[in-house]
Each structure stands twice: as structure tokens, then as C-alpha cells.
């Protein structure tokens, strides 16, 4: 298995988050997507301070699948500049990480 990753992205609403989550799991670009339904985001955009209620998605994938996952998010995301952040999963249950790998395309267990 290539290195597992936790990818984060935010959405304007739960329906959009669920629609994209289903799409990327069906395509085997992610083994699992957890959606946290309400977070407050405070950020600067085009010189203005903004505050919005969003959903955040926690996406479990691997380095092999990341490029296609990122492309899918960028193509289907409603934001002009979606947040797409990946961080390595450095530790985890061996059985969970094995399941993660077996659930994805582009992985050999």
C-alpha cells in the first residue's frame, strides 16, 4: 500500500458534501468519507473577512489515489477555490489501514 492520507475539504451544505462523498467512494478514490455537518469558517477572501457555516469532509485515501481525487474535487466542487488539504496518516490500526488499501483502486495489498 502507498502512504495513507487524510484529505480535508469544506462544502457549503450537507447535500453537496454527501453527493461528492458518494461519488468519490463509488469511484474507489476514497475508502471512507466522514462529513461533519456544521463548522464555522472565518477567512479572508478577495480582501474581505468572511464568516460562513460549512460542512467539512474527512476523506481517507492514499498517495496513489490523491491526484485523481484532487482532480475530481476540483471539477465538481461549487467553490471557485476549494480547500483541499492532505496530511499523511503516520500511525493507525493495521487492520483499518489494510481495509483502507483494499477499498481503493490503484492499490496492491
Other CB atoms closer than 10 Å to residue 45's CB: what's the count?
11
CB distance 30 to 104 below 8 Å: yes
Local structure of 90: helix, strand or coil: coil
- What pLDDT, on a 0 to 100 scale, did the predictor assign at position 51? 97
Where do the structural domains in the chain lie, given as residue ranges?
Answer: 4-102
Per-10-residue mean pLDDT for the chain, 109 residues long? 93 97 97 96 96 97 96 96 97 94 82
Instruction: List the one residue out of 9, 47, 11 whose CA is nearest residue 30.
Output: 9
Task: Identify the pLDDT of residue 105.
Answer: 86
Q: How many residues are present in the chain?
A: 109
d(CA 60, CA 62): 7
Q: Which fold has domain 4-102?
A: Alpha-Beta Plaits (3.30.70)
Residue 44 CB partners (closer than 8 Å, separation 6+): 50
Question: What pTM was estimated for this model as a whole?
Answer: 0.93
Amino acid at each position: 500500500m502507498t502512504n495513507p492520507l487524510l484529505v480535508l475539504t469544506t462544502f457549503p451544505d450537507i447535500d453537496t458534501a454527501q453527493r461528492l462523498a458518494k461519488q468519490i467512494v463509488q469511484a474507489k478514490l476514497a475508502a471512507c468519507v466522514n462529513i461533519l455537518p456544521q463548522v464555522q469558517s472565518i477567512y479572508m477572501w478577495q480582501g474581505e473577512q468572511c464568516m460562513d457555516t460549512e460542512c467539512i469532509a474527512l476523506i481517507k485515501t492514499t498517495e496513489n489515489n490523491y491526484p485523481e481525487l484532487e482532480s475530481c474535487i476540483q471539477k465538481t466542487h461549487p467553490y471557485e477555490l476549494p480547500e483541499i488539504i492532505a496530511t499523511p496518516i503516520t500511525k493507525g490500526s493495521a487492520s483499518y489501514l489494510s481495509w483502507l488499501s483494499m477499498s481503493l483502486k490503484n492499490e496492491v495489498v
